[in-house]
Structure 1
């Protein structure tokens, strides 16, 4: 099988030596081309060229969730076509690796490589649904290019946390779970609209829901991990359905304490809940609009400020080896 291995040399949990060992292991079973990313968006460009040229039957992302997101967006640049497009495989090398772990892959890079080789040998694969987010016609964000996400997107509070983490990483800080926890507290203290939200959710055929402080969109469960602890913002979310949403309409100290506790103790059967929590399952089409610009994130990548985003849940969008 012809395969392209897209390597992020800045992957948090891999060394150059580890990457070399993994490359040799994959090359023993595949006709392997290796490409190392050199700039932001390079993984997307490499995957797009592979899809357009037909030079690879499989694209392997070696890196974190950001690398995976770029590869997915490159593969799906012209839209989903699981039968014709190269398949996707993931070797986790980031600090959290939500997408890979949601697929059931080990979080250790060596074990994950072994699992990938076993899946290739047995022909194990699945076709997963993905989320697509883009501009809303008639708004100032109408020209925002559509972008695919694999496991989550968020408008408001959680995206602000990710923006703060990215700022710290640009200053040389390591991406650790302790860093995320600190930025959660700083984002809360700086949140201007925590008592009355600015986000309105609109769905075809339904009454709008307004005054949300944050909106977390999930394509699978868990939503994220704190170390080895899975966190379920939307326990019913699945690669086999469309999108789920968790919206909160209040972030007072008491509400934050309650919902943070519920998130830390969440399970596949129960996530955050209460009178200020909105939970929706299997949404194929909805829009989030804010009265003020708010930060937007997809798959843990901060994308700047937006006032409106249109979301689409696309079932059976991409073939994945797992």
Structure 2
């Protein structure tokens, strides 16, 4: 029987305060499952993506070790291959939103044992003007905190680092005038926040009902938060968000496969927690079942 080859791409900066011992346990689990392991330690932003693109085709399985940003990079490299290998994930970041959606254990040995069971799960992949993302593309309120919180703070404080950084955005909370086409529907208006996601958690702050999120159906979950006109409107919006009442009057929640957003304003984005600069037109597309993970 041919021995299966595994490439482990490790971000040494992710979750730096965590013990590395469990990673050795995870490597042992995968080795015992019959994989011949190679390990690549990333040296700079973009290294994980380039390594996955350059080397991934020679392996049966590529495992991302780090936070959601590392997973995003590895996935972005693999989707450029004609026949991507299987993808695995050992979460070592501070928030690990997508791991929560996938129910991947935060314990590396347990996550490795799940990979070793060799149960594939297909996942949709999003493309933001051609740049891939796995679980969320967002703009507006609190989006900046997902990429602006310093790595040291993320490692030490986890979710709380995002909340602290997000509080700074309250002073600059502002609506953005957008022209939105979601499928065949026009939703032009002023919005405080928007997310196009394939996940049950956004930034560790906002949750979506797992019963309403299917990760391989070719559809995104789109949430738009309109700018409130009155204090009562604001109170209603906050109540709806806190209680996951996304069909409430005021919020806009849709299942869509493609979205086009146009604006004349400076509107930066976050893709899986990584910064994306403002552009006048954003085209978001869903590649159904673009990757297969072992979970």
User: What's the TM-score once normalised by structure 1's chain length?
Assistant: 0.80
Aligned to 1:183: 165
Note the C-alpha offset of 1:153: 0.8
Choose from 60, 64, 67 the match for 1:61. 64
Structure 1 residue 174: Cα displacement: 3.5
Equivalent of 1:128, from 118, 123, 147?
A: 123
Query: Where does residue 148 of structure 1 map in the other structure?
Result: 132
Q: Contact 1:249–1:276 at 8 Å: present in 2 too? A: yes
Match of 2:101 in 1: 102
Aligned residues: 288
1:137 is aligned to none
1:31 to 19, 26, 36: 36
Residue in 2 that maps onto 1:2: 5
Q: Partner of 2:253 in structure 1?
A: 279
Q: Structure 2 vs 1, CA of residues 69 and 175 (structure 1 numbering), >3 Å: closer, same or farther? A: farther
Instruction: Give the superposition deviation at 1:273.
Output: 4.1
Shift of 1:218: 1.1
> Against the structure 1 CA distance between its residues 300 and 292, is the aligned structure 2 distance closer, same or farther, given a 3 Å change threshold?
same
TM-score (norm 2): 0.87
The alpha-carbon deviation at position 69 of structure 1 amounts to 0.2
Structure 2 distance, partners of 1:214, 1:306, is: 16
Unaligned runs of at least 5 residues, structure 2: none
Q: Please state how far the C-alpha of 1:220 moved relative to its aligned partner.
A: 2.7
1:75 match:
78
Alpha carbons 1:199, 1:213 under 8 Å: kept: no
Query: What's the offset of the Cα at 1:199?
Result: 2.0
State how 1:150-299 maps to structure 2 within 5 Å: 150-165=134-149, 168-169=150-151, 174-191=156-173, 193-194=174-175, 197-203=176-182, 205-225=184-204, 231-232=207-208, 236-241=212-217, 242-250=219-227, 257-266=235-244, 271-281=245-255, 283-299=256-272
Please state how far the C-alpha of 1:208 moved relative to its aligned partner.
4.4
Q: Deviations over 1:191-218 (max 9, x none)?
A: 2x33xx3122124543342222321111
Q: Output the CA distance in 1 between the equivalents of 2:75 and 2:216.
A: 17
Cα 1:182–1:259 shift into 2, 3 Å: farther
Distance in 1 between the 2:209 and 2:266 partners?
24
**How far is the alpha carbon of 1:176 from its aligned partner?**
2.1
Aligned to 2:23: 19
Partners of 2:232 and 2:152 lie apart in 1 by 33
- Tell me how far apart the structure 1 counterparts of residues 211 and 157 of structure 2 sit (CA, whole Å): 26
The answer for the alignment partner of 1:319 in structure 2 is: 292
CA RMSD of aligned residues (A): 2.5
Displacement after TM superposition at 1:291 (Å): 2.3
| Contact 1:169–1:175, Cα closer than 8 Å, also in 2 | no
